[in-house]
C-alpha cells in the first residue's frame, strides 16, 4: 500500500488516498487514532467509481470517524480508471436494455453482472484489509457497510476478520449469493427502502430471511431509493459501536 | 380521574395509580415534570390485565421517563377486574380452539375478537387523555406505544392529539383495521419479530405497507415473540424524542 496524498478534513479527520498495486483507495482516520489507541475499521462498499461516489463516501466516513471508527474503501474492478471487465459490461448493457424495455431482468443477466465482480473484488478487499490492519493506528475488529450486497455477503462468509455488516438492500443479488447468505453468521443490519423503484421488495425480504445470523435487524423506511432518513446514519454508528467496540 | 395511590420509584419516577370512573390506570411521571416544565406523554398499550403486565409496563415507563416522557396506561375492557365482554370471550375461545387444532383462524373470529374491544377501548383512552392532559405537569404532544395494534391504529386515526405511534406487530388485525391504517398519517415505527411464532409475517408486512404515513419505519428483529432486543428500547426513545420534543 502506497499513500499518494493526504489532507486533514474538518472535524479532525485525516483522509489519505492510496494505491494497492493498481487499485486506488481512500482511508479516513479520526484524529483520536494512534499507535497507542488504535481504532476499529469500517470497510465502505459502493457501486464503483470512487470519484463520482466521493461526496457520499466522505460524508459517511466522517460520520463514522465522529464515533471513533476509521473507514476505508477501494475502487471496484471496472470502476473509475480501472480496466473494464468485458463480461460485466455486456451484462450491464443487457440489464439496461431489459429495464428500458420494461422487461424482467433474467437470472442469467444478474449472474453475469454480479458474480465475476464479486469473485474479483473480494480478494482485493481482503488484500486491502491486510494492508490497512498493518497500520499501527488501525486495530480490529472490522465492519463492512455497503450497498453492493454481493461483496458484503461474500466477505462476511469468507473473511473471519469481519465482525458485523451493514447492508443496503439496493442491488440485484444472484441466486448463488442468496445461498451464500445462509452461511453468514455475523451480526447484521439491513437497510431497505420500502418503495425503492429500482429494487424488488420481495427479493430483499427473502434475502433478509436467508441470512444465517442469529442477530439480524431489518430497517425499512420510506423515501425512495436515495431517501434513507438521516436518523439511520446515527443508527449505523450505534450498530457498529455495539459490535466493534 | 381520582388518584388512589402513589409511590416514588428509583430514578425519581413518580408512579400514581388512578381510576377513571370504573377504569383503573397508572401514570408515571419523571421527577423533572412540573407545572413550569410540563413533559410530553406516551400512552402505553398492552393486551389487557394491568396486574399481570405490570412488571413489563413499569420497565417501559421508567425507560421513557429517563428520556423525559410521562407514560400512562389504563385497563382494557374485559381485562383485570373489569367486566368480561361476552362476545370477545367467545371469540377468544374460538381463537384458542383453532390454534390448538392447528386450523387457520377465520377472519370472522378475528373481527369478533378485536373490533368490539377497539370500539369500546378507544373512547376510554381518549377520556384518559383528556384527564391526564389536564394535569399541569403533563403537556403535549402525545405518542402511543403498544402491541394492541387495533387500538393504536384507531387512536392514530381519530385522535388528533396523537403525534407519533410505535406499534408492535404482534396481534391479529381485522381487515377493517387494515383499511383504517391507510388513513394513519402520523410518523410511525413498527416493530416486527421476524420469527414470531404467534404472528403471521406476511400480514404484518402487508399492514406496514398499508399505513398512509409519509414517515414510517419497520424494524424487524430475530428472537421470537418476546425477544425484542434491548437496543430497540433505546430506539423507541429516540423515535419519540424526534417527534414529541
- pLDDT tens digits along A136-147: 999 989 999 997
Domain count along chain B: 1
Shortest Cα distance from A219 to chain B (angstroms)? Answer: 5
* pLDDT reported for residue A148: 65
User: Does B106 reside within a domain?
Assistant: no
Q: Which member of B216, B220, B238 has the closest CB to residue A218?
A: B220
User: Does B102 reside within a domain?
Assistant: no
Backbone angles phi, psi at A169, to 5 degrees: -80, 85
Query: Mean of the pLDDT values across residues B86-113?
Result: 90
Are the Cβ atoms of A218 and B242 closer than 8 angstroms? Answer: no
Most B CBs within 10 Å, among A203, A220, A231, A240, to test the B interface: A220
User: Does A92 reside within a domain?
Assistant: no
Are the Cβ atoms of B219 and A215 closer than 8 angstroms? Answer: no
User: Does B96 reside within a domain?
Assistant: no
User: Does A105 reside within a domain?
Assistant: no
User: Does B179 reside within a domain?
Assistant: yes
Q: Which residues, listed in sequence order, are joined to residue B232 by a DSSP beta bridge?
A: none
Percent of chain A at pLDDT exceeding 90:
78
Q: Give A171's pLDDT tier (boundaries 50, 70, 90).
A: low
CA B172 to the chain's CA centroid = 14
Q: Which residues on B lie below 8 Å from A217 (Cβ)?
A: 219-222, 229
CB atoms within 10 A of CB A242: 14
Are the Cβ atoms of A215 and B205 closer than 8 angstroms? Answer: no
- pLDDT tens digits along A64-109: 999 999 999 999 999 999 999 988 999 999 989 988 898 888 889 9
Q: Which residues on B lie below 8 Å from A213 (Cβ)?
A: 222
Q: Which residues on B lie below 8 Å from A218 (Cβ)?
A: 194, 218-221
Write the CB contacts of A128 (distance below 8 Å, at least 6 apart in sequence): A1, A20, A23, A25, A43, A72, A74
CB atoms within 10 A of CB A19: 14
- pLDDT tens digits along B24-83: 999 999 998 999 999 999 999 998 999 999 998 999 999 999 999 999 999 999 999 999
Q: Note down the domain range covering B55.
A: 2-83+120-244
Nearest to B80, CA basis, from B58, B124, B50, B55: B50
Grid coordinates representing A214 are 442469529
User: Does B132 reside within a domain?
Assistant: yes
- pLDDT tens digits along B178-221: 999 999 999 999 999 999 887 889 989 999 999 999 999 999 99
Q: Is B240 on the interface with A (CB under 8 A)?
A: no
* pLDDT reported for residue B142: 98
Distance linking the first and last C-alpha atoms of chain A: 26
**Where is average pLDDT lowest: A43-47, B126-130, B226-230?**
B226-230
* pLDDT reported for residue A9: 93
Percent of chain B at pLDDT exceeding 70:
99
What is the maximal distance between C-alpha atoms in chain A?
Answer: 57
Query: Any idea what the CATH number is for the domain that residue B71 is in?
Result: 3.40.50.1820
pLDDT at A126 over 90: yes
Are the Cβ atoms of B194 and A209 closer than 8 angstroms? Answer: yes
CB A238 within 8 A of CB A245: no
What is the residue-averaged pLDDT of chain B?
93
Are the Cβ atoms of A208 and B222 closer than 8 angstroms? Answer: no
Q: Which member of A216, A219, A222 has the closest CB to residue B222?
A: A216
Are the Cβ atoms of A238 and B231 closer than 8 angstroms? Answer: yes
Q: What is the ipTM of this complex?
A: 0.80
User: Does A89 reside within a domain?
Assistant: no
Cα–Cα distance, B88 to B83 (Å, whole number) = 11
Q: Which residues, listed in sequence order, are joined to residue B218 by a DSSP beta bridge?
A: A220, B190
Q: Give B171's pLDDT tier (boundaries 50, 70, 90).
A: low
Amino acid at each position: 500500500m502506497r499513500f499518494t496524498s493526504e489532507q486533514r478534513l474538518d472535524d479532525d479527520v485525516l483522509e489519505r488516498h492510496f494505491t494497492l498495486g493498481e487499485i486506488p483507495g481512500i482511508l479516513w482516520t479520526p484524529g483520536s487514532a494512534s499507535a497507542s489507541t488504535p481504532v476499529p475499521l469500517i470497510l465502505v462498499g459502493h457501486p464503483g467509481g470512487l470519484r463520482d461516489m466521493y461526496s457520499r463516501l466522505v460524508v459517511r466516513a466522517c460520520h463514522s470517524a465522529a464515533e471513533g471508527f476509521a473507514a476505508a474503501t477501494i475502487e471496484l474492478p471496472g470502476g473509475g480508471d480501472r480496466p473494464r471487465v468485458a463480461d460485466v459490461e455486456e451484462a450491464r448493457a443487457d440489464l439496461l436494455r431489459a429495464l428500458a424495455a420494461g422487461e424482467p431482468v433474467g437470472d442469467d443477466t444478474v449472474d453475469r453482472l454480479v458474480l465475476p465482480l464479486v469473485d474479483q473484488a473480494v480478494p482485493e478487499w481482503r488484500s486491502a484489509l491486510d494492508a490497512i490492519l498493518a497500520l499501527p493506528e488501525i486495530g480490529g475488529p472490522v465492519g463492512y457497510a455497503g450497498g453492493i450486497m454481493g461483496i458484503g455477503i461474500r466477505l462476511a462468509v469468507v473473511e473471519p476478520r469481519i465482525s458485523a455488516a451493514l447492508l443496503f438492500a439496493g442491488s440485484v443479488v444472484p441466486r448463488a449469493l442468496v445461498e451464500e447468505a445462509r452461511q453468514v453468521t455475523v451480526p447484521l443490519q439491513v437497510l431497505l427502502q420500502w418503495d425503492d423503484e429500482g429494487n424488488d421488495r420481495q427479493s430483499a425480504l427473502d434475502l433478509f430471511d436467508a441470512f444465517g445470523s442469529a442477530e439480524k435487524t431489518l430497517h425499512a423506511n420510506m423515501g425512495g431509493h436515495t431517501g434513507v432518513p438521516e436518523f439511520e446514519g446515527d443508527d449505523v454508528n450505534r450498530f457498529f459501536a455495539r459490535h466493534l467496540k
